[in-house]
Amino acid sequence: MQDQRVLVTGGAGFIGSNLANALAADNDVIALDDCYLGTPENLDDSVEFVEASVLDDDLPTDVDVVFHLAALSSYAMHEEDPTTGARVNVEGFVNTVEQARDDGCETVVYASTSSIYGSRTEPSPEDMDVAVNTGYEASKLARERYAEYFSNHYEMTCAGMRFFSVYQGYEGAEAHKGEYANVIAQFADDIANGEAPVLYGDGTQTRDFTHVSDIVRGLELAADHDLDGVYNLGTGESYDFLTVVDMLNDELGTDIDPEFVENPIPEDVYVHDTCADASKMRAETGWEPQIDFETGIERVCRPYQNEAR
């Protein structure tokens, strides 16, 4: 993307700030965030920061493209307060897109989730049947349906990106998320500080870990190609948590065993395994993940190794 005026909601958060900073090199970028989880410290000086909620009136939606990443982004957040979760994730989406439409914006790229596929060790394609087991998943699927409405009724292009386990590490922009950060960031920080990483159950659960830089490229390509509909963003490879701990120990030169605890999330709603089929995204945009998992682990660990020198 070049020479576009862009709004990134949730723009001071983990994925949002990485996207906003990357786009700001060639575009006029506004990052909007209510600072519930995001922090403007994640943003480069070239990004205009607006502290506001996606539920507000008079949002800065006079733009060429809206990247809507603002959300309450975990199971726990929604179970604590389902009404607020629905307001932010569903009403906030409709409110933002409607204001953008009124301002003449026709291109929206938004965050959905791979959680709606449930537990699958085989790659999950976008056209498979999906189900909703949590308030978080319900809110993201509702977002997809409203995007379909805006596309069909108003001929907007609305691309829903189903992210698979996005990570970067605490020295990226994940530190502010704390307990809500990806497990790789949490495990690495624990191990680097001599503490046992805490694994739910027996640690055999798997995730398609996708580096945030690949997610950012996917989001940008979705806007460049005027994608419409839903698309997976994931590597197609999965790793179990035990392997992740072993790889982090190897990279950090440590030998710290994990601590196993009972999974606090009910078994019937916990997503045990994820794996992406990103062939649709690949076919329509040429997107390929560029950061293999070994390289990603090295990047997560490098700041700790630099500190030790």
Tokens of 306: 């630099």
CATH number for the domain spanning 51: value is 3.40.50.720
pTM of the predicted model, to two decimals? 0.96
**Residue 156 sits in the same domain as residue 279:** no
Tell me if 91 sits within 8 A of 83, measured CB to CB: no
Tell me if 252 sits within 8 A of 297, measured CB to CB: no
Tell me if 121 sits within 8 A of 110, measured CB to CB: no
Residues in the chain: 309
**Residue 161 sits in the same domain as residue 173:** no
**Residue 287 sits in the same domain as residue 256:** yes
**Residue 156 sits in the same domain as residue 273:** no
Would you state the pLDDT for residue 308?
58
Would you state the pLDDT for residue 76?
82
**Residue 293 sits in the same domain as residue 221:** no
Alpha carbon distance 265, 132 (integer Å): 15
CATH number for the domain spanning 262: value is 3.90.25.10
Would you state the pLDDT for residue 43?
97
Alpha carbon distance 194, 178 (integer Å): 18
Tokens of 158: 């609305």
Q: What is the DSSP letter of 233?
A: E
Would you state the pLDDT for residue 202?
95
Give the structural domain span for 53. Answer: 5-166+209-233
Would you state the pLDDT for residue 79?
84
Report the number of distinct structural domains present in the chain. 2
**Residue 194 sits in the same domain as residue 245:** yes
- Written as tens digits, the pLDDT of the chain (309 aa) is 899 999 999 999 999 999 999 999 999 999 999 999 899 999 999 999 999 999 999 999 999 999 999 999 888 888 889 899 999 999 999 999 999 999 999 999 999 999 999 999 999 999 999 999 999 999 999 999 999 999 999 999 999 999 999 999 998 788 888 888 899 999 999 999 999 999 999 999 999 999 999 999 999 999 999 999 999 999 999 999 999 999 999 999 999 999 999 999 888 889 999 999 999 999 999 999 999 999 999 999 999 987 755
Would you state the pLDDT for residue 51?
98
Listed as own residue / partner, the contacts of 175-182 with beta carbons closer than 8 Å and 24 or more positions apart are 176/13, 176/14, 176/37, 176/38, 176/39, 176/41, 176/42, 177/13, 177/14, 177/37, 180/37, 180/73, 180/74, 180/76, 180/77, 181/14, 182/209
